[in-house]
Structure 1
Amino acid sequence: MNGLLLTDGYKTGHHQQYPKGTEEVYSNWTPRSNKYASKGCDKIVSFGQQYVFQWLHDYFNDNFFSRPKEQVCKEIKEELSMYLGTDYDVTHYEKLHDLQYLPIKVKSLPEGVEVPVRVPMVTVVNTEKEFYWITNFLETILSTMLWQPMTSASIALRYKRIFKSWALLTDKENVSFIDFQGHDFSMRGMGGLQSAVSSGMGHATVFLGSDTLPVISSLRKYYNAEGFVVGSVNATEHSVMCAGTKDDEIGTFRQLMQTYPTGILSVVSDTWDLWKVLTVYLPELKEEVLARDGKLVIRPDSGDPVDIICGESRVLGGNSAKDKGVVELLWDIFGGTVNAQGFKVLDTHIGAIYGDSITTERAENICQRLHDKGFATTNVVLGIGSFTYQYNTRDTFGFAMKATSVVVNGERREIFKDPITDDGVKKSAKGLIKVDMLNNEYVLLDQVSPEQENEGALQVIYENGHFVNPVSLQEIRDRIDQNL
């Protein structure tokens, strides 16, 4: 696709609509509200800028600048003339092709830091006067690509904080387990490959467990990830269990353990009857499970996650399997240890994972109810899927890219929006902006001078086709962990 089509249709006429003599358009990308976000998501993780601008840079080079000007501009002229019902003038696109780079300067807050609502994370401004139109021409592609990695990283961090708080209460000697306690199961339910990758990279800034394989190569490409990036385990799916037949499900378990005599093996266990697996098959397989050099992980996949994992009864010793739930039933069979804090930790040969319809609220409830029954919350891994990561939009954190300053005939104009019919969420900053650190928190200063705008926490990451101040995945993870 021609790079000049990566925008909203109405952008194609905006170069003619700015005041005559416009020389500069300065815009910022800001999370404006968290009213649609999950409880506890009070700040937003800065992440994805390097990925998005590298992708955009490569796309324009491959699909615009490197192609013959006559061909690429002829294509766009024909398309837009039909689209708009007029003879579309592509002179401004021809001049951009002659330039051979995107004439913009991009500044960003460091990736991996948390940012309060209404504090800008990115600014974009044109660097050549005749390309004043390019700043907000890029708004659409930047918006569609930036909101999801930031949103998913922020939600992942909320999960990790839940896990950490409960691990400190119930199993503080094993707090490092939380790096793997939230596992990305989301790829199949995301809105396409790019959505799965951008969200999955956001998850991977926080957690080390993921089944979204494309994030590995993407993090190597865009964030210089080296060595181990994310990991997973050998695991079954329902087709495997069904192929083994319902009448011999215990035989399927035996075959799987023989196939994988060592390491972690996750087996989906509710293809037919989860409670039969837990009360009939596993007691019979107990010695074989304990003889393995590794952990067998039981994976329920249906029902209410909280009740399935923790049981419908709030106290130990319920009358039925449903009362007890997965973790208590596994304890009854395999036992384990009681740690120094007085909480039960399952034998190292057995564990549980649940990955259907998990939310931050359900994760909190699972941890609470395990705690109340006397179990360490580290007894379970939660698969975080599209029920968490796809049920979001740009409005989850109110992201928007808005112009706040223009230069017309050499005169700077501080501009802003503040719709009288809005509740204040859409009110923008005004003029040039600066982000400073005050009392260990990022704050916005607007209506600053050009000299002040050059200072502060926003640092140049891309200018006129060149990248500066690159960041690695490890640096991002370190920043996130420092504030966990």
Structure 2
Amino acid sequence: MTTHSTAYLDNPVLDTDSYKASHWLQYPPGTDATFFYVESRGGTYESTVFFGLQAILKSQLGRIVTHAHVDEARDFFAAHGEPFNEDGWRRIVDVHGGRLPVRIRAVPEGHVVPTHQALVTIESTDPEAYWLPSYLETLLLRLWYPVTVSTISWQARRTILHYLEKTSDDTAGQIPFKLHDFGARGVSSAESAGLGGMAHLVNFMGTDTVSGVLAARAFYGEPMAGYSIPAAEHSTITSWGREHEVDAYRNMLRRFAKPGSLVAVVSDSYDIYHAIGEHWGKTLRDDVIASGATVVIRPDSGDPVEVVHRCVSLLNDAFGSTVNAKGYRVLNHVRVIQGDGVNPGSIRAILERLSAAGYSADNLAFGMGGALLQKLTRDTQKFALKCSAARIDGEWRDVWKDPVTDQGKMSKRGRMTLVRHREYGSYRTVALPDGAVSLPADQLEHGWEEAMVTVWENGELLSDWSFADVRQRAASGR
């Protein structure tokens, strides 16, 4: 039997776009250094949660280049129709031991940074490898994906927090498990599930994306970043047959409902309103109460706003509720999780309808799949990596573009860093003096501090953030 794997992707020299192979010949004569930066040029949200660079550095940029890699790349590009900088790559192997001579500075992960600010800078550290930062664009700009997922998740958290603060007595206890990641099957690859699932876990602790939990362990040292509960799917309910639907639900209680536990049961296989009103609300009502568990009913079809409201109302009729200190009803013994049609807009609409009807956000959790991990692109937050400076004949020159047809694509110029105001948490991208890696203390305005640190230099990871660090920064919102 032939076993196929991703070994064909293991050559770091080939982890680029085809046209990059010719770019070392295109810079002006006398170029011996280049400086690039990454930013979100706007997009759906006005701020982004910076996350995922560390995973990319550890898994991709840390790969050691060998002469065998160079041989393969030389042969590939010769057949592919592109020139190839064989001497440049041989030098990286012979002089640098296969480690890439670049310096990468970035915002500590988890910070929430407004758009139009530099998030990452990349510069060459070997005059003979001035072309390398551009060559790495393809690999490094994939950072857009975990940043955008984490941003969407964080924005959803803001919305849910708003309604919890309005309607709940236990905002801090409720928020970690209010948005559950259902997205693993809807993404393009296992790697996407890992990066995206991990990015969601920056903001929440509920997930069914195993890859995301494993990624947080591998790249951020977090032993268990997310949690799940036993839950039914349609096959485990419908295999009992429609006439034995109530027996399928009874089996879920028998198997999983213990004092203090949670169990989720999809209940819309046939008629969710009948399932709640008759099966859960009458036949199994006493069993639910006696179990000591919280049973979470999952609708999975229909208009989310209307269906959730009606399900909560029917559960209130059957199990009753308690009015909390803020005057909102909290269901007894049961909850609802909505995992169909969930996106940032529907989350707000559902919670607005529930709160207007007098129900606390405690009653509801969300599951989000494609809209969390897949329904996004690099243009969602308009991510770009651009050259802003080049050293030519010993002098640094500003490099930028300013297309008359799209002012939104005008790029920044010069070597730069990011500064942050200690008190207000605001950010500014500012120029660096020639030759300086960071902004000297005497050039920082009062109240401002460097917001970037060197995370990678010449093949070595210099900053290794824990997942707890990242979560704390994101939760602070600045």
Of the candidates 213, 216, 239, which is equivalent to residue 216 of structure 1? Answer: 213
Specify the alignment match of 1:319 in structure 2: none
Paired position in structure 2 for 1:317:
none
Asked if 1:433 is matched to 2:419, the reply is no
Cα distance in 2 between the residues matched to 1:447 and 1:197: 36
- Are residues 295 and 96 of structure 1, via their aligned partners in 2, closer, same or farther at CA, if it must alter by over 3 Å? same
**Consecutive unaligned residues in structure 2, runs of 5 or more:** 1-8, 441-449
> Residue 184 of structure 2 corresponds to which residue in structure 1?
187
What is aligned with 2:114?
Answer: 116
Please tell me whether the aligned partners of residues 357 and 388 of structure 1 are also in contact (alpha carbons under 8 angstroms). Answer: no
Question: What residue number does 1:165 align with?
Answer: 162
Q: Distance in 2 between matches of 1:196 and 1:428?
A: 31
Q: 2:371 aligns with which of 374, 377, 387?
A: 387
Report the secondary structure of 1:342's partner residue: coil
Q: Map of 1:442-481 to 2, 5 A cutoff?
A: 442-446=427-431, 448-451=433-436, 453-455=438-440, 456-481=450-475
Would the alpha carbon gap of residues 76 and 186 (structure 1) be closer, same or farther in structure 2, given more than 3 Å must change? Answer: same
Structure 1: how far apart are the matches of 2:463 and 2:89? Answer: 29
The superposition leaves residues 200-239 of structure 1 with CA deviations (integer Å, 9 ceiling, x where unpaired) of: 111000000010011122111111113x411010001111
2:447 aligns with: none
Alpha-carbon contact 1:178-1:378 (below 8 Å) kept: no
TM-superposition CA deviations, 1:438-462 (whole Å, max 9, x none): 3421111136443374452211001
State the SS of the aligned residue for 1:405: strand
Indicate the residue corresponding to 1:303 in structure 2. 302
Q: Which residue of 1 aligns with 2:348?
A: 364
1:328 maps to a residue whose letter is S
Can you list the C-alpha shifts for 1:221-268, whole angstroms capped at 9, x where unaligned?
Answer: 111113x41101000111111211111000111111111131111111
Q: Please report the TM-score for the alignment, with normalisation by the length of structure 2.
A: 0.92
Counterpart in the other structure of 1:23? 32
SS in structure 1 opposite 2:408?
A: coil
**For the Cα contact (< 8 Å) 1:235–1:267, is it kept in 2?**
yes
- 1:481 is aligned with what amino acid? A
2:229 paired with 1:236: no
Aligned to 2:89: 93
SS of residue matched to 2:37: strand
Q: TM-score, normalised by structure 1?
A: 0.91
Instruction: Tell me how far apart the structure 1 counterparts of residues 82 and 438 of structure 2 sit (CA, whole Å).
Output: 42
Matches within 5 A, 1:28-427: 28-34=37-43, 37=44, 41-58=45-62, 60-61=63-64, 64-65=65-66, 69=67, 71-84=68-81, 88=84, 90-98=86-94, 99=96, 100-144=98-142, 146-226=143-223, 228-262=224-258, 263-282=261-280, 283-310=282-309, 325-347=310-332, 349-422=333-406, 424-427=407-410
Q: Distance in 2 between matches of 1:432 and 1:73?
A: 31
Judged with a 3 Å threshold, the aligned counterparts in structure 2 of structure 1 residues 85 and 416 are, in CA distance, closer, same or farther, namely closer
Q: CA–CA distance in 2 between the matches of 1:85 and 1:389? A: 34
Q: Matches of 2:169 and 2:426 in 1, distance apart?
A: 28
The aligned amino acid for 2:307 is I
Q: Which runs of 5+ in 1 are unaligned?
A: 311-324
Maintained 8 Å contact 1:31/1:399? yes
Distance 2:138 2:376 in 1: 18
CA distance in structure 2 between the aligned counterparts of 1:22 and 1:48, rounded to whole angstroms: 31
Query: Hey, what's the Cα distance between the residues in 1 that align with 2:172 and 2:60?
Result: 39
Number of paired residues? 453
- Residues of 1 paired with 2:340 and 2:202: CA distance? 22
Cα distance in 2 for partners of 1:266, 1:52 equals 35
